[in-house]
Amino acid sequence: MTAVSRRAVLGGAGAGLAVGAVGGVWGGRATAREEAAALPGQRRVAFHGPRQGGIVEPAQARVEWAAFDLVAGAGRDRAAGLLRDWSAAAARMAVGEPGGDGGGGIALDAGPSSLTVTFGFGASLFDKLGLADRRPPALAALPAFPGDALDPARSDGDLWVQIGADDALVAVHALRVLRRLSAGVAAPRWLMSGFARTPGTTPTPMTGRNLMGQVDGTNNPRPQDGDFAAKVFATGPDWMAGGSYAVLRRIRMLLDDWESLPADRQERLVGRRKSDGAPLSGGPDAGERTPVDLAATGPDGVLAIAPDAHVRVAAPASNGGAAMLRRGFSFHDGLSADGSPDAGLLFAAFQADPARGFVPVQQRLARGDGLSRFLRHEAGALFAVPPGAPEGGYVGQPLLEG
């Protein structure tokens, strides 16, 4: 099989739902030739390394999110044992090997399929393990935002697992393996599943779209940006150096209402053309990568990007430079009680400090983004995502054994 340390760029990021990035993110040391030579099922993302996978890699075709709570009486030793077992199983599955007992053998012939398994720690974990003095300040509870309707049963948790793969069977198999390994130590609190564009379904790599039909994620920070690491990765405390903080949101889209709008009204609310993601400030010859010009006006002197357009309200220039690495997946979970689609975006934002990334941007979006009328934030969480583990180690070891 073709070994890939971190998946290479397979396309640009999409346009941003303030909250979105279905089109993906980037990263990696694989060459375009290596990527082209590998079938989707053969691609590998190394589990061991200085940083966890599932942060800078392109969004895979399938994601599973799971939060767990420690069972009563499970102390630091048992929690450490669980992270040790989880890390070992994830490392095996990342190269296409069986993860151990459990999983039902459903992925025996699937290959690694770019599998990434990412672990995070919730604020509640530190109190339960007697580690309150080592809980980082950046893990402080997020403020309430206007319009939030977060369901406590589908929010927060002691431990978070993000599983991504280009084959749904591989992702579900990994979830089943990790859940079995957690028995007697941690119990599932909530589960969520999402999807993105499957690699290889377009002749050339293209930015993905969200369920509103918008190109989604274009203005994501890029690893080649000089300030990328400062925005995304934490410098401390010691056990978190090189890690990140993940803000999660389950955002339902009011698709029936959205789809009743004419396309030009949708474009005005987003600030980009629906056909190709080009900014409305760029003129007819603009493309998706044309920089947004927030000062541009039309022949009538009216701002090309409306005051309440998403791209204006979410822009770093509108938020004191605040930015985050958005990694999102669509979800479609049937129908709501009123018969409307229970569908939208599973949104994750990775950043060095939520107080300087997600919080100021979301506060502004909640108050001034025209898209907010078509979105419902229904669940949320914040997790510390430790750095990666070296060979023979496990994620979180410096904290749990320090």
DSSP 8: P
d(CA 207, CA 218): 8
d(CA 275, CA 278): 8
d(CA 285, CA 305): 16
Pair 164, 54: CB distance under 8 Å: yes
- Cβ-in-10-Å burial (0-12, 13-18, 19+) of 184 comes to exposed
- Scored b (16 or more CB within 10 A) or e, 219-236 reads bbbeeeeeebeebbbbee
d(CA 179, CA 298): 56
Q: How far is CA 283 from CA 207, 225, 265, 397, in A?
A: 20, 26, 17, 53
d(CA 188, CA 190): 6
d(CA 185, CA 78): 7
d(CA 381, CA 247): 6
Pair 393, 258: CB distance under 8 Å: no
Q: Which are the contacts of 327, defined by CB distance < 8 A and separation ≥ 6?
A: 21, 24, 25, 54, 55, 59, 348, 349, 350
- Show which residues are catalytic: 216
DSSP strand pairing (62-70 vs 116-121): unpaired
For residue 354, cis peptide bond before it (omega within 30 degrees of 0):
no
d(CA 207, CA 99): 32
d(CA 185, CA 88): 17
